[in-house]
Structure 1
Amino acid sequence: MPTTAASSKSNAVGHDMSVILVTGSYDHEIRFWEAWSGICSRTIPRTGESGQVNRLAISHDKRFLAAAIHKKILIYDIVSTASEPFVTLEGHVNNITSIAFNSEGKWIVSGSEDGTVKIWDLRNPNGQPRSYENGAPVNDVCIHPNQGELISCDQAGSIKQWDLTDNICSHELTPAGDIPIRSITLASDGSCLVAGNNKGQCYVWKLNEESTGLPRFQAVTRFLAHKKYLTRCLISPDARYLATCSADTTVKIWSISPMYDFKEEKTLKGHQRWVWDCAFSADSAYLVTASSDHTARLWEMASGETVRQYNGHHKAAVCCALHDGAS
């Protein structure tokens, strides 16, 4: 994540664009931060507009920021100073809970409380999105690294794999009956899936290729991550750690062994209220978190300490996005 002075000087925008850190809040604002100084470098105020910011996603080439705001997806140009989105995607009829860019930036997937998963073609933003009927409010959705499958989780306790070639739900899991699954995360190599539910329980599956003859989802373990509501789980880019965020104000860091044993390594303490979201740096050495205490924090994984706090939101900070890798 550290950058050279030369890279920041060469940037015409006037601050170092090699690290993009963004937060969204119930105050309706989207804020860009200088990661190391803690200075807010740009605010998208959305003055007079309704709708809280639910989720944020940065495209892999660092050009675009997608914000899920109530029933719409607003896409902003990251290097622009304009407060207006250049694309607005409309089609969901209820709160959007999750968004993600595909690796080439050609499409975005979204999940919503309206019970659908939608794929939006960014090359034809005015066209109709592809829609999958999930049958229950969708809480999270992620794109498999092969870019040909989606995995979603929902309020009815189901996890579904959607095959983009055949346009079908090809697998369904219900690890804890009808207890809502709040968050899911896939390892960067597609080898492992973790799901966290409303009771703070985490479930882990090994993902096998169809050619092995083994089940696609092979249950390997489960563990209680938090005694209160779990809000987000996220596997680090190097697939060595899992971060879990909770209503108990903490973030826990779990090491992942090659045999999929999960061991609690650290509890990150500092936030005063619910922790809603987190994002890892590309090298897995840092973690950003967003909390109802109105702040975001940058944590150093090695020490478990807060190295920067981002103050500026005047309501709960509920989502964050970080991209400091190669674009």
Structure 2
Amino acid sequence: MSVILCTAGYDHNIRFWEALSGICSRTIQHPESQVNRLCITPNKRYLAAAGRHVVRLYDIASTNPNPVMTFEGHSNNITGVAFHCEGKWMVTSSEDCTVRVWDTRSGTQQRNYTHLNPVNDVVIHPNQGELISADRGGNIRVWDLGENRCTHQLIPEDDVAASSVSVASDGSLLAAGNNNGNVYIWRMYQNQDSTTLLPCRSFKAHRLYLTRLLISPDVKALATCSADHSVKIWKIDPAEEYLEEPPKDMPNNDGKSSTTLNGLALEFGKKPMSTNATSFGRVIHPVPNGTAKGEVTSVPSTLANGEVADFPGERPLPCETVLAGHQRWVWDCAFSADSAYLVSVSSDHYARLWELSTAQIIRQYNGHHRGAVCVALNDYSEPR
């Protein structure tokens, strides 16, 4: 299949769509629970559906409605799911306050990282060596797979749930959104020995809850979904975002390193370690002695000259367009490979395909009987 588009939600059905015609080509029943998140493996062979306690893996090319593998271990809603670039392992986040790493060949759990609050989202850094998770207490944590510990903690707003995180495909930016409708963006500087996060922007994106945000594949746009029934597209200008030079105290080592995740050979493009980390509004949290349980120590963050790397003030990205058409909360979105189109899903039961240059609805996917809350799209010409 050249284009794989699927949606799911509270009607306990996963639907596959012909993207151009809008026809539902296949339906998989998921009677055990609602489906919270969907993710397609980079090779387009499998679809992961995250439900209340279990992730089920389905063969996309098969007509078999039963999963080929299940991943059991969470004790509450699973809120995030993502795959290693070669599909060797999968990461999940859950309202049971954990982030877990799974061997996709055996279905066994390999790692278990703990938050103090329910976890709302998790993503894999493009270097494949770090996980970034966000929780209901407003904490954003960076987990180093090589060191098997939490290396950074960011708290944009105290006690305001961080609802979504996204990392640029080139690893240059980290974005997070929260329940106040605010967006926070950090620059990420990295080499073999260190990761440094510097505050870049923060702004009010929506007047109501921000449910999902996503940086486009070409790193030129940021999409934000909200309870205000809209999706907003914000322009990222790399020429402006990268004007600031990396801190002078960063090591200058390049190269590759490898580690083993319980027998799974993982090639990390660059192996991150703890250096500076900052918060918007107040100074925190490199974690020199962090653990897999997320036990962290609050330590002021400084640069080489001793100055605090603090938030420079509200700097909104330019809003390119507002995609208005949904009648209820918009829960999730997915960019096309060329970043020219976006699919959104809503409590109004519909999925919509938008052409971003015109802000027009190109296709509408109608079939869910209750709210559609998650979408997965893979239209890459080659496996990623």
For normalisation by structure 2, the TM-score amounts to 0.78
Q: Aligned in 2, Cα 1:123/1:50: closer, same or farther, shift over 3 Å?
A: closer
- 8 Å CA contact 1:116–1:133 kept in 2: the answer is yes
Give 2:208's match in structure 1, choosing from 217, 221, 228: 228
Displacement of 1:128:
3.2
Per-residue Cα deviation, 1:130-182 (whole angstroms, up to 9, x for no partner): 11112211101000000000000000100000000110000000011111100
Give structure 1 regions of 4+ aligned residues with deviation exceeding 2 angstroms: 210-213
Give 1:295's match in structure 2, choosing from 346, 350, 355: 350
Structure 2 unaligned blocks of 5 or more = 242-315
* 1:115 aligns to 2:97 (yes or no): yes
Per-residue Cα deviation, 1:184-232 (whole angstroms, up to 9, x for no partner): 001000000110000000001000115798x711001101000000000
For 1:30, the equivalent position in structure 2 comes to 14
For 2:84, the equivalent position in structure 1 comes to 102
For 2:186, the equivalent position in structure 1 comes to 205
Q: Aligned in 2, Cα 1:201/1:75: closer, same or farther, shift over 3 Å?
A: same
* 1:141 aligns to 2:122 (yes or no): yes
For 2:69, the equivalent position in structure 1 comes to 87
Q: More relative contact order in 1 or in 2 (CA 8 Å, sep 6+)?
A: 2
3-state SS of 1:282 partner: coil
Displacement of 1:305:
0.6
- 8 Å CA contact 2:101–2:109 kept in 1: the answer is no
Give 1:153's match in structure 2, choosing from 130, 134, 149: 134
* 1:257 aligns to 2:237 (yes or no): yes
Q: Pairwise mapping of residues 151-230 of structure 1 onto structure 2 (< 5 A)?
A: 151-209=132-190, 216-230=196-210
Distance 2:93 2:110 in 1: 12
- Max Rg structure: 2
For 2:267, the equivalent position in structure 1 comes to none
Distance 1:66 1:283 in 2: 23
3-state SS of 1:179 partner: coil
In structure 2, what residue type is equivalent to 1:95?
A: N
Give me the identity figure in percent. 57
RMSD (Å), alpha carbons: 1.2
* 1:305 aligns to 2:289 (yes or no): no
3-state SS of 1:216 partner: strand
Distance 2:201 2:229 in 1: 25
3-state SS of 2:109 partner: coil
3-state SS of 1:262 partner: coil
- 8 Å CA contact 1:21–1:33 kept in 2: the answer is yes
3-state SS of 1:265 partner: strand
In structure 2, what residue type is equivalent to 1:66?
A: A
Distance 1:265 1:78 in 2: 35
- 8 Å CA contact 1:111–1:138 kept in 2: the answer is yes
* 1:274 aligns to 2:351 (yes or no): no
For 1:73, the equivalent position in structure 2 comes to 55
In structure 2, what residue type is equivalent to 1:21?
A: L
Aligned length: 307
In structure 1, what residue type is equivalent to 2:157?
A: A
- 8 Å CA contact 1:207–1:217 kept in 2: the answer is yes
- 8 Å CA contact 1:210–1:216 kept in 2: the answer is no
Give 2:370's match in structure 1, choosing from 315, 323, 326: 315
Distance 2:69 2:110 in 1: 14
- 8 Å CA contact 2:177–2:184 kept in 1: the answer is yes
In structure 2, what residue type is equivalent to 1:42?
A: R
Structure 1 unaligned blocks of 5 or more = 1-16
Q: Aligned in 2, Cα 1:117/1:37: closer, same or farther, shift over 3 Å?
A: same
Distance 1:305 1:226 in 2: 21
3-state SS of 2:20 partner: coil
For 1:18, the equivalent position in structure 2 comes to 2
Distance 2:69 2:77 in 1: 18
Distance 2:159 2:354 in 1: 34
3-state SS of 2:57 partner: strand
